[in-house]
Amino acid sequence: MSTRTGHNPTARRLASVRWAVAGLAAAGLLLAASFLPLAVGAPAVPAQPTFPHRAELVAAVLSEDAPKQLELVKKLVEAGGDPLVEQALAAWRQGGVFLYETNDTRTPFLLDPQADPDGQARALRLADGEQLKDPAGKPLRFAATDLTPVDTDSKLRKAIKVTLDLFALANPDPKMRRDAVTKLGQEQNAEYLPYFEARRTKEREKEVVRALTEAVALTRTVDEDVKVRVAAINQLAELRSINSLQFLQKIEKDNKAVTSPGAKETFEAAHAAVQQIESYLAMGNLFGTAFRGFSLAAVLLVAALGLAITFGLMGVINMAHGELIMIGAYTAYVTQNLFRAKLGATGAGFDTYFLAALPFSFLVSGLVGLILERGVIRFLYKRPLESLLATWGVSLVLQQIFRHIFGAANVQVNSPSWLNGSYVVHDVLFAYNRLFVIGFAVFIVFATYLLLTRTSLGLQIRAVMQNRQMASALGVRTDRVNMMTFAFGSGLAGMAGACLSQIGNVGPSLGQSHIVDCFMIVVLGGVGNLVGTVCASLGVGVTDQILQPWLGAVLGKITVLAGIILFLQWRPAGLFATRTRSLEG
Amino acid sequence: MKSTLVSNLLCGAAAAALSFSAMAADTVKVGVLHSLSGTMAISETSLKDVLLFTFDEINKAGGIKVGGKKVLIEPVVVDPASNWPLFAEKAEQLLVKDKVSVVFGCWTSVSRKSCLPVFERNNGLLFYPVQYEGEELSKNIFYTAEAVNQQAVPAVDYMLGEGKKKFFLLGSDYVYPRTTNKILKQYLKSKGIPDSDIEEIYTPFGHTDYQTIVASVKKFAAGGKACIISTLNGDTNVPFFKEFANAGLTSENCPVVSFSISEDEFRGLPAKQLVGHLGCWTYFMSIKSPENTKFVGDFMKWIKAPVVTGVDYKVTGIDAKGRVTCSPMNLSRIGVYLWKQAVEKAGTFEVDAVRTALIGQKFKAPTGEVTMQENHHLINPVFIGETLATGQFKIIKSLGAVAGEPFSEKFLTKK
C-alpha cells in the first residue's frame, strides 16, 4: 500500500489515519452512537489497514448479472475513503477499467493516470492496487487506446455516481462537500439519512452543517409519518431553503385537494413554507437587482467617464474613445504576461499584476491620447464634424494595428484569484469583480472631482472649457491645457479598459462594443457635466436590470434605448444641461 | 511565371517537379466563399485554411481523375467580409465570372440563406460545413454540416440520460438558436418535460452583462437536475462563463452543453472556466484514429509552409500560431473529398451529373465512414465531449452514426 500512496512518511501516516477513519465510517453505520469517540482514538488502529471492500469491487466489475451488479455498487458506499475504490469507480464510470484475461481468470485493472510519452501506463489491479503481471511475472503496461473498457450502462453509471457522491461527504473541500450534500438531499432518498446524520455530528463548517440539515429535512418531507413530514417542512421554512422551494411547491400541489389523513396538515405547512421562502426570495431579488443595477451602472460609468472629459468637457467627438479603452485592456494583458513570465502563473506575486496594470494602462492610453491630440485633434478643435471623421479613422487604424500585433482572436486576461468568486449574504450574491468595479468607479469619480476642483490644473481646465479666449488672455496656456485634459480623459479610458478586462472580452473590437453606450451616457447626462454622467449611468444601469427579468435582454435594451430617445426629446440637453461654449462655437 | 517558379523551388524539389508537369496539366476552378475580415473572420478563416490544405492534399496525390486525365484544383478565394448581402454578390461573381465548378463556403445561416437563390438561379453547387438549424433543402446545396438531429437532439438525449429534468435554453438572438430551440422544446415535450421546466432566453450578439441571466439560472438550478443548453455564439461566451463561475455554479450542479464552441473557438476563451462543460459534435480533435492522426499531423505541417501544389496560387494570411482542428474544418474537408469522388464517378464537372453521383458517396473520415444521403445530408458519427483545461475535449460518449435529417417534423414524429 505504502508504495502507492507516496514516499513521504507523514503523508503515509495521514493517509492511513484517513483510511482508518473510513473503515470506521463503515462501522459507524452500525455503531452511529459510539462513532465519534472511536474516531478520536483512530491513531491506535494498526498501521496496515485492511480493505474489505476491494474484493466487492472486483466482484462488482466481474458480475454479469445487472441487478446484482447495481446492488454491489451500492454496497460500496461503505468503502468511502479507500482511495483505490474511489479511483476505480470513477475510472469505471468513464470507461477506464479493463479486464486482463488469461486462460480462465479475469483480472480487472485500471491504468495509472501517469502515462509515458508513448501513451503507455502501468496496469494496476483493482484487488490491491499492485501492478499487474503477466504469467511470466513481467509487469504489464498498456496504452488506453489499445484496450476495450469494461462496459457500463447509464443505470450502472448512475449508481456509481451515487456511490461516489456519498464519498464526497468526506471531501476535504467544504464547497464540494456542501454541493454534494445538497445534491444528495434532493434525491430525497431515505437510505442516505444515516450518512447525513453521521456527517452532521462531526462536521465543522457552518455552510455544510446547514446543507446537511437542509438535506435531512428535505428527505424527511416524504416521510410516512405526518408529524415528521410537517416538522421537516417547518424546518425548511425556517432555513429559508431556496433549494427546497420547488419540492415544497410540489408537496403543496400534491396535497391540495386530497382528503387522505394528514394531507391537510402537510398542505398547510407546505403552503406557509412556500410563502415564507418566496417572500425571502423576493427580498433577496430586490437587493440582488439593486446590486446588479449598481454594478452595470459602474461599468457604464467607468467606460464613459473618460469620454465625459474628452467629449463632455472639451467637445471633441472622439470616436476613438473605444479604442483607448481597448488599449488599456491590452495593457492589462501585456502586464499579466510580464508578471507571469517573472513570477509564475499563480500565487500572490501574479495576483498583484492587476494592481500594476491599472496605472500602466492609464499611462499607456494617456500617452496614446496625447499623441492623438498633438497629431490630429488640435488641428480640428473648431471643426467638430471633421474631428468625428478623423477620430473614426484613427479608431480603425488602431484596431487594425492591434489585430496585427495580437491577432484577430480575443486574448485571455485571467482574473487574479481575489477577484474570483462572490460574497454571499442571505443568498444574495456579491461577485468580487463587480464589487471591485463599483469601488473603482467611486474612486475615479472622486479622483476626477478632486482634480477638477482642487488642483490648479483643474482650475485651468475649467477656465479653458468655459471660455477659451478669456482664459488665454489671462495667461493660461490653453494649448497645453487641452493636451493635458485630453491625455487625462484618455488615461481614464485606459483604466476602464483594464477594469473591463476582468468582466468581458479583450479583443480588437472591444472598443466598438462600448462606444455607443459611452456616448449615450454622456449625452443623456448632459454634455459637459460629470454629475450628469454619474446619474445617467445609474439610471440606465438600474433601469436595465429591473426591466431585464421581465422583458429579456434584447427587449430590455431596446426599451432602455427608446426611453433615452424619448427623454432626449423632452430634454434635448440631457439630465443636467450645462451652458458651455465648447459646442456652441 | 517567375514567382511561381520561385515559390515552387522554396517548397521543395518534389513539389516543383510536379508543378512543372502541372503547367501542362488541366486545372479546375473551385470557389472558396468564407469571410476573411469582419466579425466572422475569426471562425471562417480556419475553414479557408483547411480548404486550401485539402486542395493541396488532393493535388499532391495527383489531382482529380476525370476521363483519363488528371485535373488539379485551382482555388478562387473571395472575401465576403462578414457582410450578408455581399455573400450573394461574391457567389454570383464566382459562378458567373470565374465559372467555378463548385463552391465551399458560408458559416452563418443568414449568409447561406443570402446566397442560396444565387446558387439555384445559376445551377451552382455549394458545400456547407457548419452545424445549422435545418428546415431547408436546396438541390444546389450539400450540407456536410450537423443537422439538429446530429447535434442538439443527441446532446439533449445525453442530458436526459444523466437524469436532468430541467432545461435552460440560452442562445444568441438569431435564426439558428431560435429555430434549434423551437425544435428542442417540442422534442423535450415529447420526452415528458413540462413547459414549466423549460426556460428560454436570448441575448444580443456581443452581450456583456450576464448578471441577471446568471441569477435566474441560479434560481432555476436551485432545485437540482438542471442543465443549460447553450447556443450562445462567439465571444459573448466569455462574460457568460465568467459570471457563471463567480455565482458558484459549476459543471457539477448545472452543466452547460454548448453547440457553438469547438476547439477553434476555444482559442479565445478562458478554458479554465469551461472545464467540465460539454460539447456535442461529429468530430473532436482528440479522436483517436489513424485517419485523424494523419489529418491533424499533415495540417499542422502544412500550416507552417502553406502552398497549393501544382497551380499558380499564392497562399497568404495564414496564422500558424496555436492552431487546432475542429468539426467545421473536418466537415469542410469531407465535402471536398466527396465532391472529388463524385466528379470521378460522373466523369465530368457538370453540376447535374455530379449532384447525382454525390448521393451515396462514402468517405473514410477521421471519425469513421461517412455517407452522403439522398437528402443532401451526411450519415456521420456523433460524440459528446467534456472540456479539458487544455482547450481540447475528452470524449465521454460515442453515439454512433446518425443520419442527418433537415426537417424536424420527420425526426420528431419518428420517435
Q: Give chain B's end-to-end CA distance (angstroms, integer).
A: 60
**pLDDT at residue B219 in the model:** 86
- Homologous superfamily of domain range B2-146+288-379: Response regulator (3.40.50.2300)
Measured between CB atoms, does A516 come within 8 Å of chain B?
no
Q: Is B250 in contact with A429 (Cβ distance < 8 A)?
A: no
Q: Please give, rounded to a whole number of angstroms, the shortest distance from the CA of A36 to a CA of chain B.
A: 31
Confidence of residue A585 (pLDDT cuts 50, 70, 90): very low
Three-state DSSP state, A292: helix
pLDDT in tens, A280-318: 888 888 888 888 899 889 989 988 998 888 888 888 888
Q: In A, residues 71-90, which contact B (CB 8 Å cutoff)? A: none
> What grid cell was written down for B387?
472540456
Query: CA end-to-end span of chain A, whole Å?
Result: 86
CA distance B164 to B160: 5
Tell me what the mean pLDDT of segment B194-217 comes to.
87
Q: Region A107-123: what's the mean pLDDT?
A: 73
Q: How confident is the model at residue A114 (pLDDT cuts 50, 70, 90)?
A: low
Interface touch A513/B209, C-beta < 8 Å: no
Q: What is the pTM of this model?
A: 0.75
Give the distance from residue B356's alpha carbon to the nearest chain A alpha carbon, in angstroms. Answer: 39
Banded pLDDT at A40 (limits 50, 70, 90):
very low
Distances B153 to A220, B19, B149, B254, B280 between C-alpha atoms, Å:
36, 47, 5, 19, 10
Cell of A120: 503507455
CB contact under 8 A, B208 and A154: no
**Does residue B339 have a pLDDT over 80?**
yes
Tens digits of residue pLDDT in B29-56: 999 999 987 777 878 889 999 999 999 9
DSSP state of A384: H
- For CA atoms A370, A375, A381, A383, the dihedral sign is negative
The reply to whether residue A412 touches residue B269, judged by beta carbons under 8 angstroms, is yes
Other CB atoms within 10 A of residue B96 CB: 13
Q: Closest residue of A to B288, CA-based?
A: A145
Cell of B163: 437524469
pLDDT at B255 over 60: yes
Residue A44 banded pLDDT, cuts 50, 70, 90: very low
pLDDT tens digits, residue range A440-473? 999 999 999 998 889 988 888 888 888 888 888 8
Single out the residue in A511, A530, A563 at which a domain terminates: A511
Q: Give the mean pLDDT of chain B.
A: 86
Contact B248 A409 (CB under 8 A): no
Which residues in chain B are contacts of A420 at CB distance < 8 A?
245-246
How close A293 gets to chain B, by Cα (Å)? 9
Q: Please give the backbone phi and psi of residue B132, each rounded to the nearest 5 degrees, phi first.
A: -150, 180
The single residue listed with the C-alpha cell 433577496 is A284
Asked whether the CA dihedral A313, A315, A316, A318 is positive or negative, the reply is positive
Question: How distant is the Cα of A46 from the closest Cα of chain B, in angstroms?
Answer: 37
The span from the CA of B235 to the CA of A410, in Å, is 8
Say if A489 falls within a structural domain.
Answer: yes
Same topology, domains B2-146+288-379 and B149-285+380-414? Answer is: yes
pLDDT (average), residues A147-154: 76
Instruction: Decide if pLDDT at A46 tops 90.
Output: no
State how far the Cα of A230 lies from the Cα of A223, in Å rounded to an integer.
9
Q: What is the ipTM of this complex?
A: 0.70
- With bands split at pLDDT 50, 70 and 90, how would you rate the model's confidence at A367? very high
Distance CA B377, CA B193 (A): 29
β-bridge mates for residue A149, sequence order:
A98
pLDDT in tens, A479-527: 888 899 999 999 999 999 998 888 888 888 888 888 888 888 888 888 7
- Asked if pLDDT for residue A272 goes beyond 90, the answer is no
The cell numbers describing B51, all together, are 480548404
* Range of the structural domain that residue A30 is part of: 1-50
**Structure confidence by residue, pLDDT tens digits, A535-576:** 999 999 999 888 888 888 888 888 988 998 898 888 887 887
Nearest CA in chain A to B39: A509
d(CA A25, CA A167): 11
- Average pLDDT value for residue range A196-201: 79
Q: What is the mean pLDDT of residues A212-218?
A: 82
d(CA A206, CA A447): 41
Four-CA torsion A43, A45, A48, A54, nearest 10 degrees = -110
User: What is the arithmetic mean of pLDDT over B134-156?
Assistant: 91
- Which DSSP letter does residue A308 get? I
Q: Nearest residue of A to residue B394 by CA position?
A: A94
Q: Per-residue pLDDT for A218 more than 70?
A: yes
Sign of CA dihedral A53, A57, A63, A66: positive
Mean per-residue pLDDT for A101-110? 80
B202 and A183 within 8 Å at the Cβ level: the answer is: no
In a mutational test of the A interface, the residue from B203, B211, B264 whose CB has the highest number of chain A CBs within 10 Å is B211
C-alpha closest to that of A306 among A507, A441, A503, A136: A441
d(CA A275, CA A281): 10
Contact A208, A181 (CB under 8 A): yes
Percent of chain B with pLDDT over 90: 48
Residues 261-320 of A with CB under 8 A from B: 281, 288-289, 292, 295-296, 299
How many domains does one find in chain A?
2
Give the 3-state secondary structure of residue A429.
Answer: strand
The dihedral of CA B395, B401, B406, B410: what is its sign? Answer: negative
Within 8 A of A429 by CB-CB distance, chain B residues are 215, 218, 246-248
Using the beta-carbon criterion (under 8 Å), do B288 and A158 form an inter-chain contact? no
Phi–psi pair at A425, nearest 5 degrees:
-120, 120
Nearest to B131 by CA among B145, B144, B149: B145
Cross-chain residue pair A422–B246, CB shorter than 8 Å: yes
Out of A34, A50, A66, a domain closes at A50
Q: Inter-chain contact B253–A545, Cβ cutoff 8 Å?
A: no
* Residues 6+ away with beta carbon under 8 Å from A65: none
Say whether B223 and A246 touch across the interface (CB within 8 A). yes
Size of interface A-B (CB pairs under 8 A): 121
Among A145, A424, A553, beta carbon nearest to B204: A553
C-beta atoms of A549 and B202 within 8 A: no
Split at pLDDT 50, 70, 90, the class of A119 is low
Residues 6+ apart with CB under 8 A from B177: B171, B202, B231, B232, B233
Write out residues 540-559 of A within 8 Å (CB-CB) of B: 544-545, 548-549, 552-554, 557
pLDDT of residue A430: 86
Instruction: Pick from B216, B236, B246 the residue to mutate for testing the A interface (most A CBs within 10 Å).
Output: B246
d(CA B227, CA A254): 25
Q: Which residues of B fall within a CB distance of 8 Å from A421?
A: 246, 248
- Closest-CA residue of chain B to A300: B209
pLDDT at residue A470, rounded to an integer: 86
Burial environment of residue A343 by CB neighbours within 10 A (0 to 12, 13 to 18, 19 or more): middle
Q: Cβ of B42 and A409 within 8 Å?
A: yes
The answer, for A260 touching chain B at a CB cutoff of 8 Å, is no
Phi, psi at A413, each rounded to 5°: -110, 115
Higher per-residue confidence, A340 vs B185: B185
What single string gives the DSSP state of each residue in A220-269?
A: HTT-SSHHHHHHHHHHHHHHT-GGGHHHHHHHHHHTTT--STTHHHHHHH
Residue A580 has pLDDT above 60, yes or no: no
Q: Which of A410, A420, A516 to mutate to test the interface with B (most CBs of B within 10 A)?
A: A410
Chain B CB contacts of A330 under 8 Å are none
The model's pLDDT over B221-253, given as tens digits with 9 standing for 90+, comes to 888 889 999 998 877 888 888 888 888 888 878
A408 vs B contacts (CB less than 8 Å): 41-42, 45, 319
- For residue A503, give the nearest of B42, B201, B242 by CB distance: B242
Q: What confidence tens digit (pLDDT) does each residue in A278-287 have?
A: 888 888 888 8
DSSP A447-497: HHHHHHHHSHHHHHHHHHHH-HHHHHHTT--HHHHHHHHHHHHHHHHHHHH
The whole-angstrom separation of Cα A467 and Cα A502 is 40
Nearest to B238 among A183, A410, A549 (CB): A410
Coil/strand/helix, residue A314:
coil
Model confidence at B305: pLDDT above 60? yes
pLDDT band at A578 (very low <50, low <70, confident <90, very high): low
> Cell numbers at residue B410, please?
420527420
Which 8-state DSSP code applies to residue A150? P
The per-residue b/e assignment along A468-490, b for 16 or more CB within 10 angstroms, e otherwise, is: beebeeeebebeebbbbbbbbbb
**Treating both helix axes as pointing N-terminal to C-terminal, what angle do B13-24 and B41-60 enclose, rounded to 10 degrees?**
80
For the segment B260-285, the average pLDDT, to the nearest whole number, is 83
Check B39 against A509: CB less than 8 A apart. yes
Contacts 24+ apart (CB under 8 A), B265-268: B265/B43, B265/B234, B265/B237, B265/B326, B266/B324, B266/B387, B266/B391, B267/A409, B267/B322, B267/B324, B267/B391, B268/A409, B268/A410, B268/A411, B268/A412, B268/A505, B268/A507, B268/B42, B268/B235, B268/B238
CA distance A392 to A102: 75
Report CB contact under 8 Å: B248, A422: yes
CB contact under 8 A, A158 and B163: yes
Mark yes or no for CB contact A545/B223 under 8 Å.
no
Question: To the nearest whole angstrom, how far is the Cα of B11 from the nearest Cα of chain A?
Answer: 26
Domain locations along chain B? 2-146+288-379, 149-285+380-414
- How many other C-beta atoms are found inside a 10 Å radius of the C-beta of residue B359? 14
Instruction: Give the pLDDT confidence of A396-429 residue by residue, as tens digits.
Output: 999 888 888 887 777 888 888 888 878 888 778 8
**Positive or negative: CA dihedral A222, A223, A224, A230:** negative
pLDDT band with cut points at 50, 70 and 90 for residue B301: very high
Interchain CB distance below 8 Å, B242 and A245: no
3-state SS class at A130: coil
A contact residues 406-465, partner B, Cβ 8 Å cutoff: 407-412, 414-415, 420-422, 424, 429, 431-434
Binned at pLDDT 50, 70 and 90, residue A117 comes out as: low
Question: What's the average model confidence in pLDDT over B316-339?
Answer: 90
Is residue A479 domain-resident?
Answer: yes
Average of pLDDT values for B278-286? Answer: 91
User: Which positions in chain B touch A407 (Cβ < 8 Å)?
Assistant: 319, 321
Provide the shortest C-alpha distance from residue A356 to chain B (in Å).
22
The candidate with the shortest Cα–Cα distance to A357, out of A300, A301, A457, A440, is A440
CB contact under 8 A, B225 and A409: no
Q: What is the pLDDT of residue A25?
A: 44
Question: For A136-150, A543-557, B155-169, B176-190, which range has the lowest pLDDT when averaged over its residues?
Answer: A136-150
CA A318 – CA A313 distance, rounded (Å): 12
DSSP β-bridge partners for residue B403? B379
- Which pLDDT score, from 0 to 100, does residue A116 have? 62
Q: Nearest CB to B238: which of A175, A432, A504?
A: A504
pLDDT band per the 50, 70, 90 thresholds, residue A8: very low
* Angle value at C-alpha A394, between A391 and A398, nearest 5 degrees: 140
The whole-number pLDDT of residue B95 equals: 95
Q: What is the DSSP string of A37-101?
A: HHHHTGGGS-SS---THHHHHHHHHH---HHHHHHHHHHGGGGTT-HHHHHHHHHHHTT-EEEEE
What are the pLDDT digits (tens) for A68-84?
A: 888 788 777 766 667 77
| CATH class of the domain comprising B149-285+380-414 | alpha beta
pLDDT band at A237 (very low <50, low <70, confident <90, very high): confident
**Residue of chain A nearest B245, judged by CA positions:** A421
pLDDT digits (tens, 9 = 90+) for A329-354: 999 999 988 888 887 766 677 778 88
Residue B92's alpha-carbon distances to B28, B96, B97, B121, in angstroms, are 18, 6, 8, 10
